[in-house]
Amino acid sequence: MVEPDPHEARALRRMAELHECGFGPKAIAEQLTREGHCPRGARWWPETICRLLKRGLSSDA
């Protein structure tokens, strides 16, 4: 069984919080970077934020 990375889990929770507060994908990417949440790649991309939010929202249903 794969254990979730605690740093990634925190970033995903924060992403969802920002989305619920009305932040768009670009603003979420910028805020995550400002807060020091490191993505797997070089930076956060709005497209990645959209994909992760869609995946998270569909798993909540």
Q: What backbone phi and psi angles, to 5 degrees, belong to 30?
A: -65, -40
Q: Angle CA(48)–CA(61)–CA(24) in degrees, nearest 5?
A: 35
Spans of all domains in the chain: 6-60
Question: Is domain 6-60 annotated with CATH 1.10.10?
Answer: yes
pTM of the model as a whole: 0.82
**How does pLDDT run across 2-61, given as a tens digit for each residue?**
566 788 889 999 999 999 999 999 999 999 999 999 888 889 999 999 999 998 766 654
What is 22-35 written as a DSSP string?
Answer: T--HHHHHHHHHHT
Closest CA to 32 of 11, 61, 48: 11
**Residue 55 DSSP SS3:** helix
